[in-house]
Copies of this chain bind each other. A is one copy, B any other.
Amino acid sequence: MNITEFLELSFGRWRSQRSGHHLAFAHFEEVLSTIDIVPLEKDDAVVLSICESYQVDPATIVHPFRMSWEGESDWDDKPVSGNTVLVPVPDAENPARGKLLREVGYAETIAAVGTYHMSEDGTFTLLTEYDRACAEEKIWFATPNLRFRVATIKTSDGKGVTTASFSSEIRSLSSSHI
């Protein structure tokens, strides 16, 4: 599976069941949410603006998309919702690798460019470095309508993993997409 196939299979509405593990305290978090992954045109104004801010040629991008989520955690009763735009930029020389640009929110000061690679077994791995931490996400499809996601947060030296989470995401076949 290449990045284009991976993204095309990801479009749609997903019902997500997520378990968070706080490793030091062996604490569990449970979250149910709905995730929408909607393709955008390459010349969408938001997409062009993201390309400009990262100085990326829009001709080199594939399948930009908006991801939105709405859920509820058992750690606090407030619904957790948000959305962001993501822009994949495959490497010209090695299409199994690339960058993932993320829309920077109004309140954010740190750019969030991740690097991804697709492994031969179809796992998409995304690494994003922040100021003091590094996030790793692995996403793969068990079937076309079921994907799994494992996310870990490491300290920036890469040694300590503080939290890990696992999501089972089932496609909502009956829903309409906005």
Contacts and interface: CB of A to CB of B under 8 A. Distances in A.
Contact of A170 (B23, B148, B150, B154): B23
A143 B161 contact: yes
A66 interface: no
A15 interface: yes
Interface residues of A, number: 29
A123 B123 CA distance: 11
A19 interface: yes
A133 interface: no
Contacts of A148: 150, 152, 164
7 smallest CB-CB distances across A and B, nearest first, come from: A166-B166, A19-B19, A21-B168, A28-B30, A164-B168, A17-B21, A17-B26
